[in-house]
Amino acid sequence: MRASRHEILELEGSPVLPYSWRSKLLVHLTRLSPEARRNRFFVWMPDEALARHAARTAPAAVVEARVGGETRGMAEVHLRRDLRTGAEISVSVEDGWQRRGIGAALVGRALREASLRGAEEITLFYLPGNAAMRKIALRAGFVRAPDGDATLVEARLLLPAAGVWRARSH
């Protein structure tokens, strides 16, 4: 995958292991602009709140997008067990690296990681004004949940069978 004609995009998805993913997540999140922070968390998040999030979040998997060895985007995959085994994915891409396919690549890899962990239904939330995430969600096959909150879009995707999801080519 390419971030541009000259940069190679590396994606690394991994189970959450005791290594430096928390510090990588915090560094990445603190580099987000106010608008990117709002798109990721739906409210303004000061650095102290980002530090609390990085210290407390408990994802089943983290996907890291690197360009030139530097982290430029991350996705978290959170599993939930209710009527249907599901997962929620959260994605952020640093300013200056958006609109290069990184967000779509992160969503695709996060879907794969969720599927490998037995998720049957994936949920993705985004702000109504986040056109980039809306486009990514639609291309990946997400459908807006009916009767949702007008201030937040809830999009869902049913996977064909746990463990066998394959990324669509766009």
Q: Give me the percent of the chain exceeding a pLDDT of 70.
A: 82
Q: What is the mean pLDDT of residues 44-48?
A: 95
The tokens of 145 are what?
A: 């949940």
The tokens of 61 are what?
A: 């998997």
Q: What is the pTM of this model?
A: 0.84
Please count the CA atoms within 13 angstroms of the CA of 167 that sit on its side-chain side.
14
For the chain, the domains span: 9-158
For residue 65, with 0-12 CB atoms within 10 Å meaning exposed, 13-18 middle and 19 or more buried, which class applies? buried
Q: Each residue of 81-117: pLDDT tens digit? A: 765 689 999 999 999 999 999 999 999 999 999 999 9
Does the domain spanning 9-158 belong to CATH 3.40.630.30? yes
